[in-house]
Structure 1
Amino acid sequence: MVSARIGLLDLGPALDVLERARRLDRAGLRLGYGGSRLDHVVIGLVRASPMGAVAWWEDEPVAALGIMVPGGTIGFGWMLATDRWRRVARLVTVWITDELMGACRRFGLTRVETRVATDRGPARAWMRRLGGSLECICPGCGPEGEVHEQWAWTDQAKSEV
């Protein structure tokens, strides 16, 4: 039986996802962390993310995601996925709305933000479905001059953090 499942965020599977990550996912990491080695970036994200998960398709990790909390009440959402992302997208969406958003509240976060490349139309629709608010357009923000959008979830917005 073919199945998708969600497991706890763990470094080994997250690095496996990085090895097969989509080009734009890798570009997103470079956006936030400059020329750092991407494996070091993922190690830092996993260590700084008290809330996160790995999505599996059969025995293969295909997405790693989390909320990095550098301190205080603001978190930064991140996700890496492989080309098999669509196979786990629905499960991840349900996990975020049912589990992760509540965990953010319990952790005391009042704001979670993330950035998405504007040429990723499905990502924009997904941010809206998750209740995010588009805050701004960031021209030339990507490592190759890409335009990004900044999305946020706040305790003052209609959506819940």
Structure 2
Amino acid sequence: MSDADRVILQPACLRDLSWVAAFMRQADRDEVFALMADDNPLALAARLDLVTEQAWCAHWRGRAVAAFGATPNGPHVAEVWLFASDDWSHVALSVTRFILRRVMPDLAAAGFVRAQCQSAAGHVTAHAWLERLGAVREGIHPLRGRGGETFITFAWRRGDPAVEQFLAAATSYHSSSTTEKGA
């Protein structure tokens, strides 16, 4: 892999959030903006930059192509989110590893007992990815979107045996891997 193709994961900044929001792949655009008052990518980026302390961007070929993070929603609950450009396939594995090895264990260590997100019913590739990350489908919400779209809640809950087993493995990996950077 050339240096140009190397994936770099960095804390998100407004510039990178704005870039990814402006160039979101269509399935993410449909999903994200259905839950907002309008289709304004800059408003999305500004809101996330303001309310999210745990946010990252994945860069490929010198450009931010995915944004993801966890936003507190009350005590011990995190709303997790991700959106990406059409270049998602180039960073997907690195982002997945980072979420599994760092983000989820860090949320658990910070006292979060639940992480959740809502995904548009038609965004089946997102559903498959969330389930590979250990999320459980919890509920279907008809008419949740601005245009009447149906959404599905996915969640990770402390105390669920699969989540506890995963966290134990991830925490063990995280503590034994001190040389790997960003993946």
TM-score normalised by L of structure 2: 0.80
Residue 159 of structure 1: SS of its match in structure 2? helix
Instruction: Give the Cα separation in 1 of the matches to 2:130 and 2:151.
Output: 13
Structure of larger gyration radius: 2
Q: Which has the higher helix share?
A: 2
CA positional deviation for 1:12: 0.9
Out of 115, 118, 121, the residue aligned to residue 118 of structure 2 is 115
| Count of residues in Structure 1 that have an aligned counterpart in Structure 2 | 161
- Distance in 2 (CA, whole Å) between partners of 1:36 and 1:74 is 27
CA shift in 2, pair 1:137/1:70, >3 Å: closer
1:3 to 1, 6, 22: 6
AA of the residue aligned to 2:65: V
Mapped contact 1:29–1:38 kept (Cα < 8 A) = no
Q: Matched residue of 2:134: which SS?
A: coil
Amino acid at match of 2:148: G
Deviation at 1:97, TM superposition (A): 0.2
Cα distance in 2 for residues equivalent to 1:46 and 1:9: 8
Structure 2 unaligned blocks of 5 or more: 168-183
CA contact 1:48–1:70 (8 Å) conserved in 2? no
Residue 147 of structure 2 aligns to a residue in which SS?
coil
1:113-154 deviation line (CA, Å, top 9, x unaligned): 101112222111111110001001112222332222110111
| CA deviation string 1:41-100 (max 9, x = no partner) | 321222222212101111011000110114411110111210111111111100000000
Deviation beyond 6 Å, 4+ runs, structure 1: none
Aligned pair partner of 2:15 in 2, 12, 17: 12
Aligned counterparts, 1:124-139, within 5 A:
124-139=127-142
- Does the 8 A contact of 1:52 with 1:100 survive in 2? no
Counterpart of 2:27 in structure 1 is: 24
Q: How far off its partner does 1:23 sit?
A: 2.7
Q: Alpha carbons of 1:24 and 1:144: their partners in 2 closer, same or farther (altered >3 Å)?
A: farther
Does 1:159 pair with 2:176? no
CA contact (8 A) 2:76 2:111 kept: yes
In the alignment, is the contact (CA less than 8 A) between 1:114 and 1:151 conserved in 2?
A: yes
Which TM-score applies when normalising by structure 1? 0.90
Q: 1:56 to 1:122 in 2, by over 3 A?
A: same
Aligned to 2:95: 92
Task: Report the residue type matching 2:99 in the other structure.
Answer: I
Query: Cα RMSD over matched residues?
Result: 1.8
